[in-house]
Structure 1
Amino acid sequence: MFKNYNMNQIVLPLELEVKLQNNDIAFHVHHLVESIPQEAFEPFLRNEGCPAYHPRMMLKIILCAYTQSVFSGRKIEALLKDSIRMMWLAQGYEPSYRTINRFRVQSEVKDLIRQCFIQFRCQLVEEKLIDQEAIFIDGTKIEANANKFTFVWKKSIEKYHESLIEKSNQLYNELLENEIIPEIERESDEQLSVEELAQMVQKVDDIVSEYDKEIDASSDVTERKILRSERKYPKQVRKQLIDFVLRKQKYLRDLEIFGTRNSYSKTDFDATFMRMKDDYMQNGQLKAGYNVQIATEGQYALAYNLFSNPTDTRTLIPFLDEIEQHYFELPKHIVADAGYGSEQNYNDILSNRKREALITYNTYLKEQKKKYKQNEFNPDNWQYNEDNDTYICPNQQHVVFKYHSVRTDKAGFTREFKIYESEDCSGCPFRSLCTKAKEGNNRKLMVNEKWEQQKEYVRAKLSEEKTSAIYRKRKIDVEPVFGFLKANLRFTRFSVRGKSKVENEMGLALMAVNLRKFTAIN
């Protein structure tokens, strides 16, 4: 006996909502987007043309598709015809893949995604899933949607640009000596600008035109031959100058794109070439990518930002500014790994933001080892006389204070050092073990007192029971989010180009991770 099955019988359509399970992820997507205030959708209002799809509906279907590891616009369009949860969220509408792709890269969508993170965090606080005691910060690199072999390197461009400056100046002086062109007013004696090179092209072109007229006007074969011979050099110079103008424009455009970076991709100018963890060939191959920074608590991503520089040290301060301006007030403890430990970052958190920095520095673990503590040639283990402001080296020589030194790095941050120098290192039996200074030079020490105080602060905080317990949570809080993103959600490469578009896609992917985790525990 079989259950009744008749394809010729009309079945009344049911409300799609009843087909979904009680804890379906579509309900969580729906409630999250509905919690966003109406004011956030006002920038999408248009008074002209055909009425647009409601941005609430568009955001819901894209978020839901991302939770199912579907990132392609065409596949999202297909889901709207196949998936019950997608059909329910769209309420029968079927926007095309072009509409979906246009919507998710709009600049206004970035504010909607931020609202999603704000509302989601409020929900976590309300259900007491996070305690707002600390945030855990870390970064990962995700490959950009760019060709692997379209890299442009800053050092190469600077080298070629310097060569071009030298050649153009040389050519300009040569033209002046040969009295081919008159002297032009230059903005700088060091290099010719694009406009000045263009003036030179125009002046040489006028000379070539005069030769052309004289050749056309002459009927004497010998004279015409002489004129052509004289015209040859100006024509070669004109061709060379046009090449200089084009190259100058290209190099200046490249240097503007670089900014503070060392490389960029021709297919995505905002992407920088970085070393990825998935280096299958083990040859250190670089790939165009973005440095994604996230702040988590309870294994939920609460805020995010993207950077074009590959190192984490320079990203912490702008990321904290982004959190305070657009997401939430910073909690008491800021937790991160040694990649963020720098004098500038400690100074910003402790002095400017009045928060506690549970961030190790690059030698923290090394200092805990017995070998480090028992190394008598390590200046940290030398005896220090506070009254005389001197150190005692292993040869019992005094290392005395000499002068202050101030150094400024590329980012403009200033560090103050105290320089100490040994009284006499000549004839020291430990010289080869103690210093690499040339014979005749004494051992010198550079001591940054502020940095030493900050390191002592970190050691003290990580030795306390409460703060050390918070720091130990870092690995089990922020690292799993990247694992969920790359392994579970299978989001390992961006599908759009340009930083503003990539930021939107990253926000959608991280919120999809949050919703999947939230659905799993409810």
Structure 2
Amino acid sequence: MARYRPVDTQPKLIPIDLAAQLLPGTFEHALQHLLEQAIDLTPFDARYRNDTTGAPAYAPAMLLRVVLFAYSRGIVSSRAMARACEEQVTFIALSGDSRPHFTTIAHFVRTLGEQIAPIFAAVLAVCERQGLIGREMFAIDGVKLPSNASKHRSGTRADFERQASKMEQAAEAMLARHRAEDARPVEPTLHAKDAARVEQLLADAAQLRSWLTQHPTDRRGPTGAVRKSNRTDNDSAKMATSKGVIQGFTGVAAVDAAHQIIVEAQAHGTGAEQELLLPVVEATAALRTSETLITADAGYHSEANLRALAEGGVPALIADNGLRQRDARFATQGRYTALPNPLHDKSRPAKKPSEVFSPADFRYDPVARTCVCPAGKSLYRKGATNITRGHIAEHFRGAQRDCGPCPLRRQCLRTPDTTPVRNVAFFRDRVGRTVNYSALMRERIDTEAGRAQYAQRLATVEPVFANLRANKRLDRFTLRGRTKVDTQWKLYCLVHNIEKLAKSGYAV
């Protein structure tokens, strides 16, 4: 009968060379080399006042290594990080077997604040020395993620006032009812369950009143419109996604097309992407050249953004909502919207056919400034220039001799029995606008070269978000406040950039 050596899986005390666990070419080796030799972390010394008294502190480089490596493995919880520093060899090697407590790790991440920006810039400088930043195109896009906030606690100050009043009225009604019952000698006093309910209502109402006192004004957007506040995290925002409405932040990234290096990362508590474009473009000014192309999807398209980019001399291709409708390559996309989708019904209700001729049925020549109706009759132009609701338009009117006996009269007029002739208007531009930047952008992006350049955007930025969300399991922000969430977003983007460095052969 065959005999085999025993396999002993019991715990052993084995000497381990911790430095040998960080193999060249791996993420952890590149991370160790960066934080020990390439990045200056002396600004962290200002955090501590233990030169002569107090216990020695954990080294910021060690804590940063642990956090970044944990994020690269999809570990977000500080408790899980602390446990990994006791159980997993790679974590033990990166931490030098120092076993930091989970509260130490959580406090370090929570208080990083503005100190993460110089580290992010230092890693970019290393990427540039390695030749990973091409500066030919920066693709900008964002991802909406839920945060550590409840969307049920969102609303305006008026909403919160009404909620507090309803709670107080409900508590008062319950108390009044029980006072009336207590007046009867056979009825018991206020039940414990009802008393707890009244106490909870009054406590919630008091909390609402306190929040309203601490926040005397509503949140407002760039245009001054009132935005909903949130009592859990007032920096977060309620935003619509393909999977429903969430309460969270938008993580924006600008990605270089050469090797998909994230050159700028910001987190904002708004779902309106239009107002996020210019801050990211301005933040990349030091990295861009005069020929660096900025690309972004239709969510970032607005006349104000295009004007600012044009006036700043920034080359850009920003799509508009009608880009695919004008592109012959998407002529057959309608057949896919008809397919059933359990998550989202992409089909649109069929438009009701117009009962009368629309302006599109008239032949309008903007050069000759003439108009011919569907019956083949020329219309009179009314004035040189007409302004309707802030738009410059050309108005045309049919002649009585043509419209009166016309056989298409009932197809042309909504009330043919009372309306003598047809009027039609063609709009050209807004009042006071000298340059239509949206039209200029459409002309540029609809060219063969423009479409080819814009097509690179998808392959540049989307794989980055796929890596962060799927591989790194970033499905939500775990902190509160824009500063802390922005720090966490930059940490994840740092992980992505360091991975690129490791795969390029850095520190091998």
Same topology, TM > 0.5: yes
Question: Alignment identity in percent?
Answer: 21
- 2:392 paired residue among 389, 403, 418: 418
- 1:63 paired residue among 36, 61, 68: 68
Change (3 A) 1:69 1:368: closer
Matched, 1:367 2:326: yes
Change (3 A) 1:2 1:433: farther
Name the SS for the 1:473 alignment partner.
helix
The residue aligned with 2:451 is: 468
Name the SS for the 1:448 alignment partner.
strand
Matched, 1:402 2:381: no
Superposed displacement of residue 392, structure 1? 2.9
Q: Take 1:55 and 1:15, find their aligned partners in 2: how far apart are those partners? A: 22
Matched, 1:384 2:370: no
Superposed displacement of residue 97, structure 1? 0.9
- 1:340 paired residue among 294, 300, 322: 300
The one-character-per-residue Cα deviations of 1:302-322 (angstroms, maximum 9, x if unpaired) are: 211122221211211122233
- 1:490 paired residue among 465, 473, 484: 473
- On the 8 A contact 1:292/1:306 being kept in 2, the answer is yes
- On the 8 A contact 2:142/2:253 being kept in 1, the answer is yes
The one-character-per-residue Cα deviations of 1:251-271 (angstroms, maximum 9, x if unpaired) are: 576662522253233211111
The one-character-per-residue Cα deviations of 1:204-252 (angstroms, maximum 9, x if unpaired) are: xxxxxxxxxxxxxxxxxxxxxxxxxxxxxxxxxxxxxxxx999988657
Name the SS for the 2:395 alignment partner.
strand
The one-character-per-residue Cα deviations of 1:438-494 (angstroms, maximum 9, x if unpaired) are: 979944444337597434433443355554332111111111111111111111011
- On the 8 A contact 1:291/1:310 being kept in 2, the answer is yes
Superposed displacement of residue 33, structure 1? 2.6
Superposed displacement of residue 94, structure 1? 2.0
- 2:133 paired residue among 124, 130, 133: 130
What residue identity is the alignment partner of 2:274? T
The residue aligned with 1:499 is: 482
Q: Relative to structure 2, which stretch is displaced further, 395-404 or 110-119?
A: 395-404
Change (3 A) 1:151 1:459: closer
Superposed displacement of residue 79, structure 1? 1.2
Name the SS for the 1:478 alignment partner.
helix
Change (3 A) 1:9 1:91: closer
Name the SS for the 1:79 alignment partner.
helix
Q: Relative to structure 2, which stretch is displaced further, 315-324 or 477-486?
A: 315-324
- On the 8 A contact 1:25/1:516 being kept in 2, the answer is yes
Q: Take 1:2 and 1:245, find their aligned partners in 2: how far apart are those partners? A: 71
Change (3 A) 1:346 1:381: farther
Q: Take 2:11 and 2:279, find their aligned partners in 1: how far apart are those partners? A: 64
- On the 8 A contact 1:349/1:357 being kept in 2, the answer is yes
The residue aligned with 1:272 is: 237
What residue identity is the alignment partner of 1:265? N
CA RMSD of aligned residues (A): 4.2
Matched, 1:477 2:442: no
The residue aligned with 1:27 is: 29
- On the 8 A contact 2:135/2:289 being kept in 1, the answer is no
What residue identity is the alignment partner of 2:33? H
Matched, 1:94 2:61: no
Q: Take 2:42 and 2:58, find their aligned partners in 1: how far apart are those partners? A: 17
What residue identity is the alignment partner of 1:313? Q
Q: Take 1:87 and 1:246, find their aligned partners in 2: how far apart are those partners? A: 45
Matched, 1:448 2:439: no
Matched, 1:303 2:264: yes
Q: Take 2:220 and 2:478, find their aligned partners in 1: how far apart are those partners? A: 24
Q: Take 1:476 and 1:324, find their aligned partners in 2: how far apart are those partners? A: 23
Name the SS for the 2:152 alignment partner.
coil
Q: Take 1:9 and 1:71, find their aligned partners in 2: how far apart are those partners? A: 30
Matched, 1:143 2:146: yes
- On the 8 A contact 2:382/2:397 being kept in 1, the answer is yes
The one-character-per-residue Cα deviations of 1:153-188 (angstroms, maximum 9, x if unpaired) are: 467469999x9xxxxxxxxxxxxxxxxxxxxxxxxx
Matched, 1:313 2:278: no
What residue identity is the alignment partner of 1:350? A
What residue identity is the alignment partner of 2:266? N
The residue aligned with 2:315 is: 356
- 2:78 paired residue among 73, 94, 107: 73
What residue identity is the alignment partner of 2:292? K
Superposed displacement of residue 137, structure 1? 0.5
Superposed displacement of residue 378, structure 1? 3.9
Change (3 A) 1:100 1:347: same
Give the TM-score taking structure 2 as reference length: 0.69
Structure 2 unaligned segments of length 5 or more: list them: 166-204, 333-356
Name the SS for the 1:486 alignment partner.
helix
Q: Take 2:160 and 2:429, find their aligned partners in 1: how far apart are those partners? A: 36
What residue identity is the alignment partner of 1:458? M
Change (3 A) 1:115 1:356: same
